[in-house]
Amino acid sequence: MADIIYTFEGHVYLNITNACPCKCEFCIRNNGDSVGDAETLWFTGHSPSLDEIKSEIDSFDFSPYSDEIVFCGYGEPTCAYGNLISSAKYLKEKMPECKLRINTNGLSDLLNKKSTADEICSVFDIVSISLNAPTSEKYIELCHPSFGDRAYPAILKFAEECASHKDVVTKFSVVDVISPEDIKECKKIAEEIGVPLRVRNYTAE
Q: Which residues bind ligand SF4 (CB under 6 A)?
A: 20, 22-24, 27, 29, 75-76, 105, 143
Residue 12 near residue 19, CB atoms below 8 Å: no
Beta-strand pair 126-130/99-104: parallel
DSSP 2: -
Neighbouring-strand partners of residue 130 = 173
How many other β-carbons are positioned within 10 Å of the β-carbon of residue 116?
A: 22
**What minimum distance in Å lies between the beta carbon of 65 and ligand SF4?**
22
**What minimum distance in Å lies between the beta carbon of 131 and ligand SF4?**
12
Using the minimum distance from each CB to ligand SF4, give the nearer residue, 57 or 142: 142
Kindly write down the DSSP assignment for every residue of 26-60, as one continuous string.
T-GGGG-S--TT-S-----SSPPPHHHHHHHHHHS
Using the minimum distance from each CB to ligand SF4, give the nearer residue, 41 or 92: 41
Using the minimum distance from each CB to ligand SF4, give the nearer residue, 67 or 137: 137
**What minimum distance in Å lies between the beta carbon of 71 and ligand SF4?**
12
Using the minimum distance from each CB to ligand SF4, give the nearer residue, 48 or 75: 75
Query: What is the distance between the alpha carbons of residues 25 and 130, in angstroms, rounded to a whole number?
Result: 13
Q: Is 86 helix (H, G, I), strand (E, B) or coil?
A: helix
**What minimum distance in Å lies between the beta carbon of 155 and ligand SF4?**
11
Beta-strand pair 68-71/99-104: parallel
**What minimum distance in Å lies between the beta carbon of 133 and ligand SF4?**
12
Residue 80 near residue 47, CB atoms below 8 Å: yes
Using the minimum distance from each CB to ligand SF4, give the nearer residue, 24 or 57: 24
